[in-house]
Amino acid sequence: MSSAQMPIILLRDGTENRQGKGQVINNINACVSVSDYVRTTLGPRGMDKLVVDRKDKTTISNDGATIMNMLDIVYPAAKIMTDIAKNQDNDVGDGTTSVVILAAEFLKQAKQFVEDGVSPQLVISAYYHASEEAIRKLDELATKIPEHGLRDMLIKCAATTLSSKLVAQDRQYFAELVVDAVNNVDDDLPVSMIGVKKISGGSVTESHLVKGVAFKKAFSYAGFEMQPKHYKDVSIALLNIELELKAEKDNGELRVNNVSDFEEIVNAEWNILYNKLEKIHASGVKIVLSKLPIGDVATQWFADRDMFCAGRIPEADLKRTQMSCGGQILTTVSKIESTALGKCDEFYEKQLGNERFNYFIGGAKAQSCTIILRGGAEQFIAESERALHDAIMVVRRAKKNDTVLAGGGAIEMELSHHIREKAKNITTKEQFFWKAYGKAFEIIPQQLCINAGIDAVDILNQLRNRHLKGEKHAGVDIFRECVRDNLEGCIWEPAAVKRNAINAATEAACVVLSVDQTITNQPKKNEMPGLPSKH
């Protein structure tokens, strides 16, 4: 009797295991489907998406990274698309939609080879080599920004970014606002030093830049209205100290035998507070800001001495005030050195919409600024803030790298043409993969035309013809609905944005192609997902 072989069970019952060529194709299809969610948001005439989350909060946006973050994607391989959109947003701020569309198109072009039985590793190898050639060509096409025209160049880069946003009609106004904000802050400082305050009401063109710090009037106690609301050339104390009477019965227990002992305890509590206030006043400061509460006793005490105070200031605003006015955030007032105090050229309080705002205009070395953003609907202001964030990141990146490229699909068409020409010199079957990689770049100008309602076939034929003749900067002008030299037309993008997009899209495509098996572990019965099992 022959002994039958017993099956070897490796994975727990219920584990999903999908593998082979079919799995690679499924992953490609999933990634292409994800890109369809953001495809129509590309370009100056891209549409917006209205996303409603689980708490019924509505977000209207055409920012690729924002939309990708809000999509609750469950398909494992497709989550890579969200990661590259985040990476693009964190690194350069713009081009988040482009990178997702480009990665999906690289995969779409590779799909035909996988279906024909070609090993994905051959496609991956060819894609990496082709991307290196594309980056080399991109660097060759990049135009350096001249020092004397730096501000104008940066404004044009910001305007190109804002042309596809909700504030596109006022892009010139906001481009100048963004460039002034970035120039006001040191290049090495974090982007958080440019604060954005959103205030409902008023026209969007009432938005303005404060070369210092502005924040909403903090919670204040009685006596606040008696304080002066305007100073010039004064010292500021930034504190992380509570200036409030504490009920000691909550912190400990005391047994007293007579009234005088009780009176002594109460007086000691008051004396501790008054000593702190006296030391702050003796230092010569006129403005006192604290991260912790400043009580009604302290508020009135300061008001009697013509001093301004505000407690419960958010940490981010306090940090920006420090960067704008100098000084240190103090944790004790036992000995206040003059070097630890900030200097403010001007302080005033102003009504904006329904809120009152405190303005601190820093000195010549101010390293922080605030953009006051006005507008109608809350969703509009939120989307305007996202648009300004993209523009700020682009301008900062352009300042550091100081090279720009023609936008409007011009660089993509030139890279497509260049890669295909290079492919003709390859004698192996890798030539087909290079041609597919080059063809994928055409998706950007094609999608720009589709979103604008222009005949994409006609425009693409014109673009191919112009690039064949050696017109390297020929791209789509969406507003004129024609093909033109976009470098002359001032449709510019920083080279860093495109370089990062090509690298990220190629890597994402190669990662998806290299996955041929997906194993999904199912939780045991009576075991909640994500919780350790009980043994």
Give, as one character, the DSSP assignment of residue 316.
H
Domain boundary among 336, 365, 394: 365
Farthest CA pair distance, the chain: 106
Q: For residue 533, what pLDDT is reported?
A: 46
- Average pLDDT on 157-170 reads 83
Note whether residue 258 is domain-resident: yes
What is the SS3 string spanning 39-92? HHHCCCCCCCEEEECCCCCEEEECCHHHHHHHCCCCCCCCHHHHHHHHHHHHHC
Positions of E strands within 101-156? 143-144
Note whether residue 490 is domain-resident: yes
Q: pLDDT by residue (tens digit) across 244-299?
A: 776 555 556 667 677 776 666 667 777 778 888 888 888 888 888 888 888 888 88
d(CA 214, CA 197): 8
Q: pLDDT by residue (tens digit) across 404-436?
A: 888 888 999 999 999 999 999 988 888 999 999
- Average pLDDT on 69-85 reads 85
- The tally of CA atoms less than 13 A away on the side-chain side of residue 265 is 15
Residue 149 φ then ψ, to 5°: -110, 25
Residues 358 and 417 in one domain: no
The range of the structural domain enclosing residue 503 comes to: 16-144+405-520
Given the DSSP bridges, would you call strands 342-352 and 355-361 parallel, antiparallel or unpaired? antiparallel
Quote the tokens at residue 477: 């002008």
d(CA 243, CA 289): 11
d(CA 130, CA 431): 10
- Are 370 and 196 in contact by the 8 Å Cβ rule? The answer is yes
Residues 132 and 27 in one domain: yes
Residues 223 and 361 in one domain: yes
Q: pLDDT by residue (tens digit) across 513-526?
A: 888 776 666 665 55
d(CA 99, CA 96): 5
Other C-beta atoms within 10 Å of 422: how many?
18
d(CA 415, CA 439): 9
- Are 77 and 27 in contact by the 8 Å Cβ rule? The answer is yes
Residues 306 and 424 in one domain: no
By the 10 Å C-beta count (0-12 exposed, 13-18 middle, 19+ buried), 249 is classed as exposed
Residues 431 and 307 in one domain: no
d(CA 470, CA 142): 16
Cα 334 to Cα 71, 272, 305, 330: the distances in Å are 53, 11, 20, 10
Residues 415 and 361 in one domain: no
- Total domains in the chain come to 2
Residues 254 and 356 in one domain: yes
Range among 69-73, 122-126, 203-207 with highest mean pLDDT value: 122-126
Residues 219 and 331 in one domain: yes
Q: What is the CATH number of the domain that holds 473?
A: 1.10.560.10
Q: What is the CA radius of gyration of the chain?
A: 30
